[in-house]
Amino acid sequence: MIADDVRRHFTKSFDGEPTLVVSAAGRVNLIGEHVDYNGGEALPIAIQRRTAVAVRLRPGAAATRINSGGTGGVLTLDHARLARKRKWTDYVAGVLDQLIGRGIDVPGLDVAVASDIPSGSGLSSSAALEVAFGFAVETLLGLHTDPVALALMCQNAERQFVGVPCGAMDQLAAACGVEGHALHMQFAPATVCAVPFTEHVLVVDTAVPRTLRGSAYEERVKECAAALVAVQRVAPTVPTLAAATMEQLAQAELPDVQRRRARHVIAECERVRQTVATLAAGHQFPGHLAVASHESLRDDYECSSPELDWVVQHAMRASGISGARLTGAGWGGCAVVFGEAGALESLAASLPADYSQAIGHRPRTWVVSADAGARIES
């Protein structure tokens, strides 16, 4: 258990026991991709992969000591001089910066971190770290904010301190997850509504380095912002790109690339609404909408990869599988596959060898289901 690991790790690093151990979840998005920063809606789940944080106050100190058990040893973050260092501690420093910026007198802390969320595969290990750390500090100091506010503060940390112009989906999932439920999120303003979802989901990590990801993500954010400006010229009251209609899009006469990005956003939000209605009516996840989402991400949003397309195509040929799509930002990372539990298990067993043969390296696979978000472990 990751919570036991972090407690042991704390004791080894700092002598003595932590006061508090908390954890937050990684996530996979079921449907609703690249819509959060466009004011749309999405449907992720928190998963059983988690990041745990163990903390204790350092009375009289104005610096936080932190150890992830990696090769870096114990690192120190001076609260008076927090600066981006382009390493994993930026996620923690960013949250400290937010808390201090809100006038909260955060004392020095000893912090140990442990995680079984693979980093760099698109399961939001960074959001889980931000949320777990923010939750630990708020709990330790007796500050009672709600999970949505905690997630939005962590999103600000990532945008302002780390410098990634992300939406709020990952942090909201890490904070607000509910076991046995998908999270129907709206983003303008941010709300989360739990929808019963007890199915298993197969996650396939294509294990492809994501070098392009950061800059391409930023480019999409800018393209969507430009599309909104153009739509608002013909429909000034449209508040977000997700709120535009296909008719308004046609009237705006956008350049081809912007038009396709906007078409994805508008259609994807409609697919989220249909999925939520299907699940709320007690039916299985509508796999065909996952496939439609993937095609739209591949063709209109251009954020798929040959490996992700291979996984989706391969999965759709297996019996008992109802749908598959890329999940998260894309350009590598993970795909999700929907279907009967037995079919997912046998695909998880057979896919790696087929993938290695076709692509040349091994993927990773996990069968997951909806789990809790941020929680106190001990």
The residues annotated as belonging to the active site are 170
User: Nearer Cβ to ligand GLA, position 33 or 199?
Assistant: 33
d(CA 88, CA 66): 11
Site for ligand GLA in 3-62 (CB under 6 A): 29, 33-34, 36-37
How many residues are recorded in the chain? 378
User: Nearer Cβ to ligand GLA, position 47 or 166?
Assistant: 166
Give the count of beta carbons closer than 10 Å to the beta carbon of residue 357. 8
Chosen residue from 26, 39, 328, 363 binding ligand GLA by CB under 6 A: 328
d(CA 324, CA 309): 10
Contact 289, 275 (CB under 8 A): yes
Q: How far is the CB of 315 from ligand GLA (least distance, A)?
A: 20
CB-hemisphere CA count at 13 Å for 189?
4
User: Nearer Cβ to ligand GLA, position 138 or 170?
Assistant: 170
Characterize 55-81 residue by residue with b for buried, 16 or more Cβ atoms within 10 angstroms of its Cβ, and e for exposed.
Answer: bbebeeeeebbbbbbeeeeebebebee
Task: Dig out the tokens for 342 from the structure.
Answer: 């037995």
Mention every residue, 6+ apart, whose C-beta is less than 8 A from residue 237: none
Q: How far is the CB of 44 from ligand GLA (least distance, A)?
A: 9
Task: Dig out the tokens for 80 from the structure.
Answer: 């008076």
Contact flag: residue 377 with ligand GLA (CB under 6 A): no
Q: How far is the CB of 36 from ligand GLA (least distance, A)?
A: 5
Q: How far is the CB of 169 from ligand GLA (least distance, A)?
A: 5
d(CA 267, CA 246): 9
Mention every residue, 6+ apart, whose C-beta is less than 8 A from residue 217: 164, 165, 166, 329, 331
User: Nearer Cβ to ligand GLA, position 13 or 29?
Assistant: 29
Contact 246, 327 (CB under 8 A): no
How many residues touch ligand GLA (CB under 6 A)?
A: 11
Q: How far is the CB of 276 from ligand GLA (least distance, A)?
A: 16
User: Nearer Cβ to ligand GLA, position 265 or 351?
Assistant: 265
Q: How far is the CB of 60 from ligand GLA (least distance, A)?
A: 37
Backbone angles phi, psi at 264, to 5 degrees: -60, -50
d(CA 332, CA 309): 10
Contact 49, 373 (CB under 8 A): no
Q: How far is the CB of 377 from ligand GLA (least distance, A)?
A: 25
Site for ligand GLA in 134-193 (CB under 6 A): 166-167, 169-170
DSSP symbol at 36 = G
User: Nearer Cβ to ligand GLA, position 37 or 338?
Assistant: 37
How far from chain centre, in Å, is Cα 94? Answer: 17
Q: How far is the CB of 320 from ligand GLA (least distance, A)?
A: 27
Residue found under tokens 């007198």: 105
User: Nearer Cβ to ligand GLA, position 7 or 260?
Assistant: 260
Chosen residue from 113, 157, 176, 329 binding ligand GLA by CB under 6 A: 329
Mention every residue, 6+ apart, whose C-beta is less than 8 A from residue 96: 64, 77, 79, 82, 106, 137
User: Nearer Cβ to ligand GLA, position 159 or 259?
Assistant: 159
Residues that bind ligand GLA (CB under 6 A): 29, 33-34, 36-37, 166-167, 169-170, 328-329
